[in-house]
Amino acid sequence: MVKYRIDRARRLIEITIAGVYLLEHAQALARSLRADPAFDREFSQIIDCRDADLSNLSTADLREIAADLLSVPGRRIAILSKDSSDEALVRLYATYVQLTENKSVLRSFHDLDSAIAWIGEIR
């Protein structure tokens, strides 16, 4: 399950991922966001993966997701992960993002308050 909420007042997109997460889910999320009139590529993002199973994502999947990132250079994206194996995937994903033209700034967190505080530093 993937759901998102766009908070225009806070210039923030909150994405929650639960269950097995595959490349197709990332692609469907990107299509949904692009079609949403409230979506703005300049908004920061908090992506909560603490209830997600990311183990089926390959390195090729991560590269493809990074190439299709819906953000602008310098935008902060906080990713909440539950354990060190997920955190390693987040670090690899962040590396792939840096290799694209996007250059968004990604950081991994284990708790929501820290992620919100980091996102809030740019306001």
DSSP 106: E
* Separation of alpha carbons 48 and 56, rounded Å: 17
> What domains can you pick out in the chain, each with its CATH number?
2-120 (3.30.750.24)
Model confidence at 67, pLDDT cuts 50, 70, 90, reads confident
Pair of tokens at residue 107? 């950081």
- pTM for the whole thing? 0.91
Model confidence at 98, pLDDT cuts 50, 70, 90, reads confident
pLDDT tens figures, 8-30:
999 999 999 999 999 999 999 99
Q: 18 versus 99: which is more confidently predicted?
A: 18
Residue 51, CA distances (Å) to 3, 11, 18, 83, 87 in order: 12, 24, 5, 11, 13
Nearest Cα neighbor of 96 from 50, 63, 59 is: 63
At residue 69, the pLDDT reads 77
